[in-house]
Amino acid sequence: MIADSPWVTTHPPSMVDLDSCVTCGLCLPVCPTFRLTGDETASPRGRLAAISAVGENRAVLDERFDEITSFCLQCRACETICPSMVPFGSIMESARSEAVAQLPRRGVRVRRLLLGRALRSPLLLRLVSLLAAFGQRVGALSLLPRVGQVTRGLRRIPLPLPTARGGSWGDVENAVGTERVVLFSGCVADVWFSGVHAATIEVLVAAGYHVDAPANQTCCGALASHSGFGRPAAAMACENIRAFADAPTVVVNVAGCGAHIKQYAAHGEAGADLASRTRDVTEVVADAIEAGRLPVLPQSGRQVAVQDPCHLEHGQRIVDQPRRILEAAGYEIVDVDAGGLCCGAAGLYQVDHPETAAQLGTAKAAKVADAGIDLVASANAGCEMQLRRYLDSGYEILHPIEIYAQAISPRFEGDG
Ligand code: SF4
Ligand code: SF4
């Protein structure tokens, strides 16, 4: 920490990055919170100005700073359009860490325990998942307001609880060099979205890969980092860097997790190396289809509505690959709200800003409903849950890889 610096964490917002904003305002129309409020302090430019003011000791880090930074969804739509390539996501994560470290907040200990510890413990996650599975079956989750709010839109959790951790699939004999791919199983996704893992494994094995999932991997740290708990998030990154040290390619099927792992360069050379070996499942499978390792099915006349998760479109700049996979599955693509706003899922945003999350969720659901197609493809667990919260029960919402797995292998049913 330099003298007179207002920052207290080891990774504070970079003044060089902050200074790269030329205040052109091109980011304002794509920012969901600015679009909803029309307020400059709810825009990317306004947020950068607020963080710069504290960094230059022109303002103090106070409750207002906390409000301005926590109202951001961290959707990174501003990054995609910014001509100066301001790394808004990492600036905001650092600013949130400073706010959490410097301001007393109610519930901060519980949140640190939940995001920094519980998500790293497979045992605790399984215990919570078991309770949630029973809660779903007896209809108890909706009776607990906070829990019901977060778990609404969740798939039915299978019993007995599944796990991909420690598993190995495909032809080990022929799996050499780049033919081996390693599955990132995630924290809650390992149990709650096990159908996506099953489809991912099914398709990758069909493409001739050997797939395995190290048992010692952990949560990517995105939820902790977005919520301002930089230190536990860094510890999780280090655990994953060790767990995936020998993985030629790490395949991720939750867009939010993939976008975060691709930012591990913040954790040094080994982190940058892992980031460079990490690919979204849609990248790997679209390439395998193009290389002729997976079939292209004839058009079936069926349609699928495609929703672009922010952490796929803006966080990883992946837009075409899910569409190419769904076309190869024989579907006609119907874009839902292309270039539109975030759906409002955004980790714990719906707990902190339920009204804004509901406004954005309702708007996104209306766009899906306008498309008039009851099959929706979404490549991010959080977006899938948010869509299910605001759409009626007549819609089937699946990961693109599940739709492709079902098409090439009708015996595959998953758990969607
Ligand atoms: S688009 Fe980029 S440079 Fe322009 S105001 Fe927004 S953050 Fe700043
Ligand atoms: S990350 Fe999203 S909500 Fe936050 S400032 Fe950028 S566009 Fe707005």
Mean pLDDT of 107-128: 87
Q: Of 9, 5, 6, which Cα lies nearest the Cα of 266?
A: 9
CA angle 126, 128, 129 (to 5 degrees): 60
The pLDDT value recorded for residue 172 is: 66
73 alpha carbon to ligand 2 midpoint, in Å?
6
Same topology, domains 15-102 and 295-408? Answer is no
- Average pLDDT over the chain reads 92
pLDDT higher for 413 or 99? 99
Q: Which two tokens stand for residue 51?
A: 């963080």
149 pLDDT higher than 90: no
User: Quick check: CB of 82 below 6 Å from ligand 1?
Assistant: yes
311 alpha carbon to ligand 2 midpoint, in Å?
12
Mean pLDDT of 389-406: 94
The pLDDT value recorded for residue 348 is: 84
Left, alpha or beta for 347 (phi > 0: left; psi -120 to 50: alpha)?
left
Q: Which CATH number fits domain 15-102: 1.10.357.10, 3.40.50.12780, 1.10.3720.10, 1.10.1060.10?
A: 1.10.1060.10
The pLDDT value recorded for residue 226 is: 92
176 pLDDT higher than 60: no
The pLDDT value recorded for residue 302 is: 95
Q: How far apart are CA 320 and CA 322, in angstroms?
A: 6
pLDDT tens-digit series, residues 246-294 = 999 999 999 999 999 999 999 999 999 999 999 999 999 999 999 999 9
Residue 141 pLDDT grade (very low, low, confident, very high; cuts 50, 70, 90): confident
pLDDT higher for 339 or 125? 125
Q: How far apart are CA 47 and CA 64, in angstroms?
A: 11
Q: Are 406 and 412 in contact (CB under 8 A)?
A: yes
The pLDDT value recorded for residue 173 is: 62
Architecture of domain 295-408 in this structure: 3-Layer(aba) Sandwich (3.40)
Q: How far apart are CA 191 and CA 195, in angstroms?
A: 9
Task: Give alpha helix (H) positions in 193-331.
Answer: 194-206, 222-226, 230-243, 255-261, 269-277, 281-290, 310-313, 320-328
Residues counted in the chain: 416
Q: What percent of the chain has pLDDT over 90?
A: 79
Q: How far apart are CA 194 and CA 159, in angstroms?
A: 11
389 alpha carbon to ligand 2 midpoint, in Å?
22
pLDDT tens-digit series, residues 208-254 = 999 999 999 999 999 999 999 999 999 999 999 999 999 999 999 99
Give the domain ranges of the chain.
Answer: 15-102, 115-151, 168-285, 295-408
pTM across the whole model: 0.93
* Residues with a CB atom less than 6 Å from ligand 2: 30-33, 44, 47, 72-78, 88
- Residue 177: in which H helix or E strand, if any? none
The pLDDT value recorded for residue 113 is: 84
The domain 168-285 having CATH identifier 3.10.20: the answer here is no
The pLDDT value recorded for residue 246 is: 94
